[in-house]
Amino acid sequence: NYVGVTDSAWNNPGKGKELALSQINQGADVIFTAAGNSGLGAFDAVEQFGKNAQGEANKFVIGVDSNQNGVKPGFVLTSMVKRVDNAVYDVVKEVLGGNFKGGFHVFGLDKDGVAYMMDENNKNLISPEILQKVEEARGKIVAGEIKVTDAMAK
């Protein structure tokens, strides 16, 4: 589902919440946002479903771009971030070393260009066993054992 097709679609949390609630009502347990400020509506949507008798969230959200784990603690499984800091560091290092070559540079898992965030706000939501499986999958992706489609390569 899309919030919209104009630039205002990136700043409409109300529509983001509406879409997230629709997905939850169709059976979604986790909402992965990717809509700028509109994605914040999904945080409100999962919070609206509250917590169970054990104090655990009934629905979850995954933040994007920056660490959003603290936006609604207990409701955010993790945040997927673009590690622009690592990309800038590598490019500056290459420039200073006289080794920089212009062109299209990809900073994926193998170059720590993307990552998931773990901190005090979500550490109790994901078990060590699940984290181990995530790290194993990450390693297999980096090693080429698991193929991830690159939309930019098409």
What percent of the chain lies above the pLDDT cut of 70? Answer: 98
Specify the residue for token string 């603690």: 73
Tokens for 44, please give them: 């409100």
So what's the pLDDT on residue 154?
62
Residue 23 lies in a domain: yes
pTM score > 0.95 for this model?
no
**What 3-state DSSP class applies to 8?**
helix
**What 3-state DSSP class applies to 20?**
helix
Domain span holding position 30: 7-153
**What 3-state DSSP class applies to 37?**
helix
- The pLDDT tens digits of the residues spanning 48-84 come to 998 888 888 899 999 999 999 999 999 999 999 999 9
CATH for 131: 3.40.50.2300
Residue 2 lies in a domain: no
Instruction: Tally the domains of the chain.
Output: 1
- The pLDDT tens digits of the residues spanning 75-111 come to 999 999 999 999 999 999 999 999 999 998 889 899 9
Residue 63 lies in a domain: yes
**Does the pLDDT at position 121 exceed 90?**
yes
